[in-house]
Every structure is written in structure tokens, then in C-alpha cells.
A and B are shown apart, each in its own frame.
Chain A
């Protein structure tokens, strides 16, 4: 069977979507399927087929799309603001690029975000079945990041439409957490019976191997200090600012080092905040890392102070590696952590509560060990890769109307 995995995200990147697509791709290829992956190139200037290296330069398509979109909006809907026009142009550029790269020869297309789902649904041939996995809720992220200032605005109405069409344009839509399903059913009118809840899975053995590989060199004092790892993109929804606000209280009582593994548009702002708090000797910006699993093994505590998160892979990884976690009671995270048993949950955006929870763990190696061990026991069952793959294959078979082996033959 020929399968296309597609996303609007850039690949490769450090993050859950990439992990998910990589695992799925490996499995499908091991079953004898032909798999292509289409995504933005990391420079965001190209849409590319990662498996072959073919790509379309967006600029060449964008000029044409720009003309069509602006022509329409200037005459028909002049009130529509540039943010909406920009998103329209990006989506049409993606769909025309996808058509240029070729989507006609696939039996099944599996998209991984709302933009690519809507785009592919418009350009794919009727015979190709379409499954989407939507990993989060972007409309509320826009509000949290300040890109959209009000729920009553036209941009939010547009973002809500993006969610609705993103969640409904494929034959079936997979969601990784109940929270995502609840949000889009209640908030955007997505029919509940169109969604399949399939939690992520993780290849524990592969993670174990990765975690034992050598990391890039780290400063000596980092190895000797108690380390707190925050493995997350540097974007506002990940809540790094609350961790930085909590740190002075912690540093006053214990010598710790904090590793921020990830990159993103919020880096400079966070660096300014670190300087403002006088935390340069405590906080290390490690950038986008390929050795997150190895860093995690070296760390004593993993923290994720998100203000919104669907089902973060970093928590799954930390649990499997037996690390104690402090995370926000937000999004799908309460589906992952039983506070006091498999980690500690704190209110989102509450630096004081975060500081208390971290101090509790820093002060007790016994508690760290206990929470880590209980999390590992739970995670190996909860984040079974086999279960995720078998349920995903069942959804493939459902949309194809036959078993995968019948399609292959």
C-alpha cells in the first residue's frame, strides 16, 4: 500500500509530531508499505518530500496564490485582516505544492494538523482514503500567544473555522487525548462520532537505547548539581516564564541547574527574563537537541509548566525513563499524571505553586525515586506503541473498507 504522511509542520524537528510520524513511518515500512513524508523544510521556504528529497519552493507558488487571494479579498471581503489573508495564502500554497509533488498515487493519506488536513482534502483524488491525527488545539494557542486578542474577533472566527474544517475534512480524525476531543466538540461544533481517541505510544526500548547515548558536552558544574530539565519548544504556551519566576525562590535554598532543551520564537524574550532575574548561572539554553532522551536520563527532575498541552511526548518519555515530573494541571496532562503518585501537578501559571512542588522534590531523593518508579510502571502499560499502532491500523482498515493485507495484495 502507498501511504503519504503529511504535515504543515517543518520536519525534522524536536517534538511530539515528529516522534509520532517517525514511529508510524518505521512501523508501516516494516510491514512492507511504501511511505512518503511531506512537510515543510526546516527553512520554511520549501515543501518537501523527505523520503526522496524532492521539493517545491514556496515562493514560486506563492506569487500566484497571493494574486488570487488578494484579488478575491480586496473585492469581496475587504474587512478581512492581513493575518487571515496570510493564513489563507499559506494553506493554498501548501495545497498547490502538495499537488505539484503529487498526491494522486496514494491509497491512504494520513495528515497531522488542521492546515494540511484541509489542504490535502481539497487536492487529493477521490479514491485516496484520508485519516488525520490532530495533535492539539491551535485556536486557543493563538489566544494564549497573543496572536489573536479576543474570542469575539474575526481572526478567532477564522481560527475556529480552521479547527472545524481541520477536524472534519478527513474520513476519520484521531485525537491523542480526551481533552482535545472535548475542546473541539464543545468549542467548535466538531461531531464527536467523527473522532477516534487513540493515545500516543512510545517505543520504550528505542528510547532506552537513545537515553544511554552520549550527550553533547555539558559544563562540569552541571553534572555535579541537581538538574531540572524542561524539554519543550520555547513558545509562550509552554510556560517557561513561570518556571523562571519560580527559580529565585528555589535557588535561594538549593543549588540547581536548569536545562531548557528546545528552540522557538520566544528565546530572546526568555533570555532577557533570565538576565532580569539574575539567573544566568542557573539556566542553560541548550537549543534544539537530538539527545533529549540522554539529557533526560542525566536530569534529576523533569518540569513542564505549560499553559496548554494536548498530550506531551516529553512527559511520556520522562515517565518511561523513571524521572519525577512536575507539570501543569492543564489540557491532556491530567490524563497522564496522577498527582502525588506518578508525578506532581500544579496549577498553570502559578509560579509559587510550581516552586513549592519543585522544592518538595529537590528536598527528597526518596520522593523523586518513588514518583519516578511508579511513573515508569504506569507508563510502560499506558504508552504502549503496539496498542497505538494496532488501533491506528484498525482505523486505516475502517476507512479503506478492507484489511491492510487485502489492499497490499
Chain B
């Protein structure tokens, strides 16, 4: 148990100090989800029926996605994203790492505390409850001296 705790505390320290890097996954080059970015320039501005008469700025329903499925999209997407982009967001995973570590630590300390208490109780039950009083000696109880 102590070994596990030491391992855990070292892990926590590494995470807090930033030496632990969460796994950062770049957008995969292999195109698992085919997307198309073929925007239909001819038809896309068909306003259809206004959703609300007052909101004439925008709001017209469209039936079909106009960023459609095309393998080229992920390539374009990668190019358009900042180079440091990754999923998940490392700022959030750092917070979650620290918070989960703190909770595990708190749980471990609680566990150790309860273990220590149970050992103490066990020892208390094991030791005899009665301890004979120490033999007290008063001055006049001094052993007789040779005269």
C-alpha cells in the first residue's frame, strides 16, 4: 500500500509540474470520416421560408448539409487549423489530471487514516486493559539501610 501511495504521489508531482504530458492526438491523416466541402454556390442562398417574420436578417431552413462528405475535407481542415491544435484540450486535461489526483490522494489519506484507526483499535483490544500501577516508593519506604 505504501509503495502504491509513493508511486501515486510521484505521479501527482509529475502532473502538477508538467513533466507529464497528456497524450495529444493530432487530427488523423487517415480519413475515417469522409466529409465533403463541396459548397453548392448556386443553390445555397435559396432563402426558403422565413422562420419568423420578424427575424428577417437570417433564419431560413435548409434540408441538406452543404458541407457534405468528401475525403478532402479533413485535409483542408488540418491545413486550416493552428499547428498546435490537438484533441483533447491540454489545458482542460491538466485541470482534470490534477483534480482527479487530488481526489485519489484524499481518498488514499482517508483510507490510510481508517487503516491506522482500525489497527489502533485492534491493538487496544489486544492489549490487556489493566496495567498494574507502578510501584511507588515514598521516602520512608526506602529499603532499610544497614546500620
Contact = CB atoms under 8 A, between A and B. Distances in A.
Interface stretch (B2-10, B75-83, B120-128): B75-83
A64 B33 contact: yes
Interface in A1-57: 11-12, 22, 25-26, 37, 42, 46, 48, 50-57
A92 B88 contact: yes
Given A55-B62, A68-B25, A72-B87, 11 more contacts: A12-B58, A71-B25, A72-B23, A76-B23, A76-B93, A77-B93, A88-B92, A99-B77, A122-B89, A125-B82, A158-B95
Nearest to A124: B82
B81 to A, nearest CB: 6
A290 B60 CA distance: 16
B35 A100 contact: yes
A-B pairs with lowest CB-CB distance, top 4: A50-B58, A161-B95, A157-B99, A68-B87
Contact of A154 (B23, B77, B85, B96): B96
B138 interface: no
Interface stretch (B66-74, B109-117, B139-147): B66-74
> How would you classify the secondary structure of chain A's contact residues: helix, strand, loop or mixed?
helix
A290 B45 contact: no
Contacts of B58: 11-12, 37, 50-51
Given A52-B45, A92-B87, A158-B92, A290 B69 contact: no
A102 B93 CA distance: 26
Interface in B32-53: 32-33, 35, 37, 39, 44-47, 51-53
Nearest to A14: B52
Given A76-B22, A154-B99, A64 B67 contact: no
Interface in A57-94: 57, 60-61, 63-65, 67-69, 71-73, 75-77, 79-80, 84, 88, 91-92
Contact of A100 (B47, B77, B104): B77
Residue of A53, A92, A100, A165 with highest tally of chain B CB at under 10 A: A53
29 contacts: A11-B58, A12-B51, A12-B59, A25-B57, A37-B58, A46-B65, A48-B62, A50-B57, A50-B59, A54-B67, A55-B66, A57-B65, A61-B33, A63-B33, A65-B87, A72-B87, A72-B93, A76-B93, A76-B97, A91-B89, A96-B77, A99-B80, A99-B81, A101-B67, A123-B81, A123-B82, A154-B96, A157-B96, A165-B91
Interface string A148-169: 0000001001100100010000
A290 B23 contact: no
B54 interface: yes
A306 B77 CA distance: 43
Interface residues of A, number: 55
Contacts of B14: none
A52 B44 contact: yes
Nearest to A168: B91
B118 interface: no
A323 interface: no
B51 to A, nearest CB: 7
Contacts of B60: 53
B47 to A, nearest CB: 8
A163 B58 CA distance: 30
Contact of A54 (B44, B77, B88, B95): B44
B55 interface: yes
Contacts, number: 131
A252 interface: no
Nearest to B24: A72
Contacts of B99: 154, 157-158
Interface residues of B, number: 45
A371 B62 CA distance: 46
A118 interface: yes
B57 A77 contact: no
Contact of A161 (B46, B51, B69, B92): B92
A55 B93 CA distance: 29
A92 to B, nearest CB: 5
A77 B39 CA distance: 39
Interface in A86-136: 88, 91-92, 96, 99-102, 104, 118, 122-123, 125-126
Contacts of A75: 23
Contacts of B47: 53
Contacts of A96: 77
A53 B88 contact: no
A384 interface: no
Nearest to A71: B25
A392 interface: no
A48 B82 CA distance: 22
A210 interface: yes
Contacts of A154: 96, 99-100, 103
B102 to A, nearest CB: 9
A126 B45 CA distance: 30
A124 to B, nearest CB: 8
Contacts of A52: 44-45
A60 B80 contact: no
